Amino acid sequence: MEPAVRAEDEAMSTEELLQAQTDLYHHSLAYIKSMALGAATELGVADAIHGRGGAITLSHLAAATGVHPTKVQHFGRLMRALTVTGVFTSEEKEGGGGALYKLTRISRLLVGVGKRRLSPMVRMLVSEVSFTTPMSICEWITTDTPARAMFEAHFGSTQNGLWEKEDAYGAPFYSAMSADSRVVMEVLLRECSSVFEAVAGSLVDVGGGSGGVVAAAIATAFPHIKCSVLDLPNVVAAADDTSNVQFVSGDMFDYIPPADAVLLKWILHDWEDQDCVKILRKCREAITTRGAGGKVIIIDFVVGAGSSKETETQVLFDLYMMMENGAERDEHEWSKIFFEAGFSDYKIMPVLGARSLIQVFP
Ligand SMILES: C[S@@+](CC[C@H](N)C(=O)[O-])C[C@H]1O[C@@H](n2cnc3c(N)ncnc32)[C@H](O)[C@@H]1O
């Protein structure tokens, strides 16, 4: 039997009904935005615009990015979608003759020179590895199959296993992490220098990755802080040789080298609550200066901190992390973990866009 028409359906004006339909289609097609952005990143569209002084016609852009001559019109449709959605902008050439494509604040972050280049991060987020399990949320949520098992069935490895062992996945992953860290550090050093000035003399970046970008930036900006990076042996073996950072290979679940401050950037969101408590207990044991600047510094999302767009980014990342048994947490969830790990206080600073800097005190 057809369900009865409900009162709220009847009450919708034409305008509301059509708006709701447009919104529904907009949400349904959100993945096309990701695909289009991924294609533009792969083609190097931002670099081509930048290389032509910041403004370029469609035909020149197509030639510069390797578009096949039979596909220029299709490429124009890709550029139109990316322009309407704000990734690029276009304006009519003076005196006519078509549109000139230009960069926006978003696509400037895709240009392949300079420390703000986030194209490795975009590549990772729109890669096959990232898309596969989120696409299967419905299947996963209606069975008792662990997310990791679904991922393994497809790739023959866990996601962490792929990053760590397969160079074809691992190298782009660590390059994406380094790219993100460069942007985060630019802001942190500008906005939160007092957090590091208070550190007595040493800091260990746990899971700092092969680039050691965060530790190197802190060591350069604050010469009084001796910085080291702890990461897995295979990551340390491939580490960039930076003179001001010492790399230590090990497992954060076993031992964290002693330091005045322990930094965890994008580590805890990879793990379930009980694993986070174990990692934080090891951090607490490692902190040498209690009450005199000793602390854990966490860079991660705090769900609900910030604008509605930032919250949307946080909860989308949460679904992304859910597929690897990780999670993005709200303040209440964070505080439970901190207190269970034996810490006495914390301070959240939502100063990193969608992410926050959290100081946790022993
Ligand atoms: C998501 S990445 C974050 C990298 C870096 N902190 C950043 O944000 O740019 C997670 C890091 O944790 C490291 N890692 C994973 N398990 C670890 C363990 N048991 N002990 C030490 N490091 C580990 C990985 O090798 C990787 O570098």
Indicate whether 351 pLDDT > 70. Answer: yes
- Output the six-digit token pair for 44: 């190097």
In this structure, the residue with its CA closest to atom 9 of ligand 1 is 177
pLDDT over threshold 60, residue 1: no
CA torsion sign for 197, 199, 203, 205 is negative
Angle made by CA atoms 301, 304, 308, in degrees to the nearest 5: 105
> Does ligand 1 come within 6 angstroms of the Cβ of 326?
no
| Whether the CB of 165 sits within 6 Å of ligand 1 | no
Could you please report the per-residue DSSP string of 32-89? HHHHHHHHHHHHTHHHHHHHTTT-EEHHHHHHHTT--GGGHHHHHHHHHHHHHTTSEE
Lowest mean pLDDT among 25-29, 133-137, 202-206, 296-300: 133-137
| pLDDT score at 280 | 98
Give, using CA atoms, the residue closest to atom 14 of ligand 1: 207
Q: Which atom of ligand 1 is nearest to the CA of 160?
A: 15
Model pLDDT, residue 134: 59
191 pLDDT above the threshold of 90: yes
Does the structure show a pLDDT above 80 at 154? no
Average pLDDT over residues 293-317: 95
The answer, yes or no, to whether residue 5 has pLDDT greater than 70, is: no
> 192 CA distance to ligand 1 centroid (A)?
23
Q: Does residue 292 have a pLDDT over 60?
A: yes
Give residue-wise pLDDT tens across range 19-68. Answer: 999 999 999 999 999 999 999 999 999 999 999 999 999 999 999 999 99
In terms of C-beta density within 10 A (0-12 exposed, 13-18 middle, 19 or more buried), how is residue 146 classed?
exposed
Helices marked H in 229-272: 233-237
CB 200 within 8 A of CB 289: yes
Could you tell me which of 75, 89, 90 has the C-alpha nearest to residue 36? 75
Q: What is the pLDDT of residue 170?
A: 81
CATH class entry, domain 122-361: alpha beta
Q: How far apart are alpha carbons 321 and 309 in whole angstroms?
A: 18
Check residue 166 and give left, alpha or beta (phi > 0: left; psi -120 to 50: alpha).
beta
Q: Indicate the residue type of 254.
A: D
Q: Could you give the residue numbers annotated as active site?
A: 269
State which ligand 1 atom lies nearest to the alpha carbon of 264: 6
Of 107-116, 253-262, 267-276, 306-315, minimum mean pLDDT range: 107-116
Question: Is the minimum distance from the CB of 238 to ligand 1 under 6 angstroms?
Answer: no
- CB-ligand 1 contact for 177 (6 Å cutoff): yes
What pLDDT, on the 0 to 100 scale, is given for residue 161?
76
Could you tell me if the CB of 298 is within 6 A of ligand 1? Answer: no
**Domain ranges (residues) in the chain:** 1-111, 122-361
Q: State the pLDDT at residue 8.
A: 62
Give Cα separations from 263 to 22, 88, 259, 352 (angstroms). 44, 36, 10, 15
Query: Are β-strands 245-249 and 202-206 bridged in parallel, bridged antiparallel, or unpaired?
Result: unpaired
Weakest mean pLDDT among 65-69, 93-97, 161-165, 238-242: 161-165
pLDDT recorded at residue 133: 62
Query: Does the structure show a pLDDT above 80 at 281?
Result: yes
Using the mean position of ligand 1's atoms as its centre, give its distance from the Cα of residue 229 in Å. 10
Confidence tier at 238 by pLDDT (50, 70, 90): confident
pLDDT of the residue at 342: 97
Distance between Cα 12 and ligand 1 center (Å): 50
Bridge partners (DSSP) listed for residue 206: 230
In CATH terms, the fold of domain 1-111 is: Arc Repressor Mutant, subunit A (1.10.10)
Give residue 139's pLDDT band: very low, low, confident or very high (50, 70, 90). Answer: confident
* Average pLDDT in the chain: 91
> Does residue 270 have its Cβ closer than 6 Å to ligand 1?
yes
Q: How confident is the model at residue 206 (pLDDT cuts 50, 70, 90)?
A: very high
Report the pLDDT averaged over residues 69-74.
97
Q: Using 50, 70 and 90 to split pLDDT, how confident is the model at 239? A: confident
Structure confidence by residue, pLDDT tens digits, 122-138:
999 998 777 766 567 78
- State the distance from the centre of ligand 1 to the C-alpha of 292, rounded, in angstroms: 27
